[in-house]
């Protein structure tokens, strides 16, 4: 079994199985062993951990995870990669379960119950750019027991997750991540560390799950409906953005009244509000909706 994480062995495996990269799955395989070591270290993978890996590809990072963790669950959507994982690159490891499934359709709570007795797991992944946000939000909103999520994402997406109000990158993703976790960019990974080479650099970001959210609201779903509506029309004032959102059923007068109670101008936009202010606005609007 060849150790992956270098171009020669990766190319050999791809040629052996006549594998063609699928654009629709956003496949870019890591070919830098040094970066792999750093990701395992950043994720703080320990001998008793159960780790969920999303998108193992040909098993490059999975090999490292198997050597450090007690149990690894690798979820891969591309059926063409399953024989490579099962018959070749992961065949020597007895602590890995390979699942050929779309991560967004999987009952992760059941997997955590089965593999880790319902105790928090660690997620480690090199995520396809096109589906980063749905995966992160899916993990948080389904309330899967999580210790941390350490993921490779597009550099701009990583930056978006940790910015605050008033910046152009600040949006619904920033607020959602900060509601559920403490985001920390661990390293920048140049495009040359992947095969095929992507058009942009990546970053490894670690999201350490809060024991409890930093703000309190009586209706979490309503909070995120308000946040999404505020940024769906980010150039509009909150009064118009929320008032135009059909799913919220809010009168513009009610929104004006809530902003007034908070001491905010009627022309305030969503991008100016902190997470705490969105929580306060949600509480006011929840009482009158």
For residues 107 and 41, give the distance between their C-alpha atoms in angstroms, rounded to a whole number. 28
pTM as predicted: 0.92
The bridge status of strand 96-100 relative to strand 29-30 is unpaired
In-domain check, residue 127: yes
Closest CA to 172 of 230, 220, 243, 112: 230
Indicate whether 96 and 58 sit together in one domain. Answer: yes
In a domain, 90, yes or no: yes
Domain stops at, among 178, 209, 240: 209
Q: State the pLDDT at residue 67.
A: 96
Residues 238 and 108 in one domain: no
Residue 1 pLDDT = 58
* Closest to 155 (Cα-Cα) out of 131, 116, 185: 185
The answer to whether residues 134 and 264 belong to one domain is no
Same-domain check for residues 180 and 227: no
Residue 145 lies in a domain: yes
Taking the CA atoms of 165, 170, 173 and 178 in sequence, report the sign of the dihedral they define. negative
Cβ contacts of 236 within 8 Å, gap of 6 or more: 244, 269
Q: Please state the domain count of the chain.
A: 2
The series of mean pLDDT values per 10 residues for the chain, 289 residues long, is 78 90 82 94 98 96 97 96 96 97 96 97 91 92 95 94 92 95 97 91 97 94 95 93 93 95 96 97 88
Q: Which two tokens stand for residue 71?
A: 């149990």
- What CATH number is attached to the domain comprising 235? 1.10.8.100
**pLDDT value at position 287?**
86
Q: Which domain holds residue 128?
A: 7-209
Residue 2 lies in a domain: no
Both 199 and 61 in one domain: the answer is yes
96 and 229 housed in the same domain:
no
- Count the neighbouring beta carbons within 10 Å of the beta carbon of residue 16: 11
Both 133 and 239 in one domain: the answer is: no
């Amino acid at each position: 079994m060849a150790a992956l994480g270098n171009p020669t062995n990766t190319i050999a495996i791809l040629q052996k199985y006549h594998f063609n990269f699928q654009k629709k799955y956003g496949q870019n395989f890591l070919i830098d062993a040094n970066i792999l070591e750093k990701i395992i270290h950043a994720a703080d993978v320990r001998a008793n951990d159960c780790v969920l890996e999303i998108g193992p590809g040909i098993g490059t990072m999975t090999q490292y995870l198997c050597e450090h963790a007690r149990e690894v669950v690798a979820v891969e959507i591309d059926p063409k990669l399953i024989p490579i994982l099962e018959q070749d690159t992961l065949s020597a490891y007895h602590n890995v379960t390979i699942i050929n499934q779309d991560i967004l359709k999987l009952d992760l709570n059941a997997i955590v119950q089965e593999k880790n007795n319902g105790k928090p797991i660690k997620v480690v992944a090199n995520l396809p750019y096109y589906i980063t946000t749905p995966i992160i939000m899916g993990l948080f909103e389904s309330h899967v027991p999580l210790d941390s999520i350490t993921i490779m994402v597009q550099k701009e997406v990583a930056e978006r997750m940790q910015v605050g109000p008033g910046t152009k990158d600040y949006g619904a993703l920033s607020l959602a991540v900060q509601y559920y976790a403490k985001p920390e960019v661990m390293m920048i990974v140049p495009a040359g560390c992947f095969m095929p080479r992507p058009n942009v650099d990546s970053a490894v970001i670690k999201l350490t799950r809060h024991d409890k959210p930093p703000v309190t609201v009586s209706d979490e779903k309503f909070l995120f409906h308000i946040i999404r509506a505020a940024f769906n029309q980010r150039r509009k004032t909150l009064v118009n953005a929320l008032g135009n959102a059909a799913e919220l059923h809010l009168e513009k007068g009610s929104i004006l009244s809530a902003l007034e109670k908070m001491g905010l101008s009627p022309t305030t936009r969503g991008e100016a509000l902190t997470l705490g202010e969105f929580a306060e606005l949600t509480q006011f609007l929840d009482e009158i909706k």
